[in-house]
């Protein structure tokens, strides 16, 4: 079973990398949801065999769970609970699903290094796409309009 857990961990790791790449795409909501919740399902499938679940009870994890709990309480006691609940399922629920997966799958130095490289590569991709769209399409919303532009 330990060999299967390594394969499943690798699949989860690839899904997290793909999520990072498609995170800022505007039309990728369905793909993002499939990547997040399928990796969470795989993580739940192998939960009994995991030995590093103690990471979910340390101080940073406790702070995160307090954040999720306070968010859930504020959703329940808000003025419009249905709207708050619909907004809760967008971001905080995804964080609550991703946090245990990332904290228990990315446990060794090699995985953390690959995770950092994937984040840097995705950020460079997003910056290059932003510069490309600014140079090619000349978006007026991105162009700063200040007094210094009109000085000369």
Taking CA atoms, 35 is separated from 7, 14, 32, 41, 128, in Å, by: 16, 9, 5, 10, 24
* Per-residue pLDDT tens digits for 7-52: 888 999 999 988 888 877 667 778 888 998 999 999 888 888 877 7
The whole model's pTM is what? 0.73
- Cα–Cα dist 139/133, whole Å: 7
Half-sphere exposure of 118 (CA within 13 A, CB side): 18
Rounded mean pLDDT of 118-142? 78
DSSP for 37-82, written as a single string: HHHHHHHHHTGGG-S-GGGGGSHHHHHHHHHHHHHHHHHHTSSSHH
Question: What tokens appear for 109 in the block?
Answer: 């130095």
Cβ neighbours of residue 130 under 8 Å, at least 6 residues apart? 142
How many C-beta neighbours within 10 Å does residue 78 have? 14
The predicted structure's pLDDT at residue 148:
52
DSSP for 7-41, written as a single string: HHHHHHHHHHHHHHHHTT-TT-HHHHHHHHHHHHH
């Amino acid at each position: 079973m330990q060999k299967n857990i390594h394969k499943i961990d690798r699949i989860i790791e690839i899904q997290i990398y793909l999520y990072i790449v498609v995170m800022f795409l505007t039309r990728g909501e369905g793909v993002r949801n499939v990547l997040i919740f399928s990796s969470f399902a795989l993580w739940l499938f192998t939960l009994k065999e995991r030995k590093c679940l103690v990471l979910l009870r340390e101080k940073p994890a406790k702070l995160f769970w307090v954040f999720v709990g306070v968010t859930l309480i504020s959703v329940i006691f808000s003025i419009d609970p249905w709207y708050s609940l619909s907004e809760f399922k967008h971001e905080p629920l995804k964080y609550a699903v991703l946090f245990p997966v990332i904290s228990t799958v990315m446990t060794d130095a090699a995985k953390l290094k690959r995770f950092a490289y994937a984040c840097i590569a995705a950020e460079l991709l997003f910056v290059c796409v932003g510069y490309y769209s600014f140079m090619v399409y000349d978006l007026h919303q991105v162009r700063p309009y200040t007094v210094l532009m009109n000085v000369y």
